[in-house]
């Protein structure tokens, strides 16, 4: 079993806080470490109810990560239409969707071998 990296754990916790701060929905963490030839160790997937909320989630994640650990994503794409925004933090890739786009692309289904952890929310 692959060993977790404490800085990766910290990054994941900060990303989750950023999502929760603006009430992102249906949060899943996909652990890809046991799958060969993956581009990263984890996907974090969530959705918002509109392009405004998707962008708010992205901004909240960036603000929290920058403030807490002085890091920024290596690459961000999709903010123009805010239906699917990808944020690449190298070991962790965040996918922020609008619900209908998430259902269409079904990333969890594509990565069916990944260990999925659903993150409960209080809202």
Domain residues of the chain, as ranges?
Answer: 21-118
% of the chain surpassing 70 pLDDT? 96
Mean pLDDT value of segment 68-96: 97
Return all residues near 108 (Cβ < 8 A) that are at least 6 apart: 28, 30, 45, 114, 116
Return all residues near 42 (Cβ < 8 A) that are at least 6 apart: 8, 12, 29, 30, 31, 32, 33, 91, 92, 93
Does domain 21-118 correspond to CATH entry 3.40.47.10?
no
Mean pLDDT value of segment 11-23: 98
Q: What's the pLDDT at 123?
A: 84
Q: What's the pLDDT at 4?
A: 55
Residue 1 reports pLDDT greater than 70 = no
């Amino acid at each position: 079993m692959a060993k977790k990296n404490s800085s990766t754990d910290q990054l994941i916790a900060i990303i989750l806080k950023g999502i929760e701060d603006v009430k992102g929905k249906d949060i899943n963490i996909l652990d890809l470490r046991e799958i060969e030839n993956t581009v990263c160790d984890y996907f974090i997937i969530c959705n918002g109810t509109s392009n405004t909320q998707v962008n708010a989630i992205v901004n909240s994640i960036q603000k929290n990560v920058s403030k807490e650990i002085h890091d920024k994503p290596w690459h961000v794409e999709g903010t123009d239409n805010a239906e699917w925004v990808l944020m690449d933090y190298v070991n962790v890739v965040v996918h922020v969707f609008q619900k209908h786009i998430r259902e269409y692309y079904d990333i969890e289904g594509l990565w069916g071998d990944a260990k999925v952890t659903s993150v409960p929310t209080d809202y």
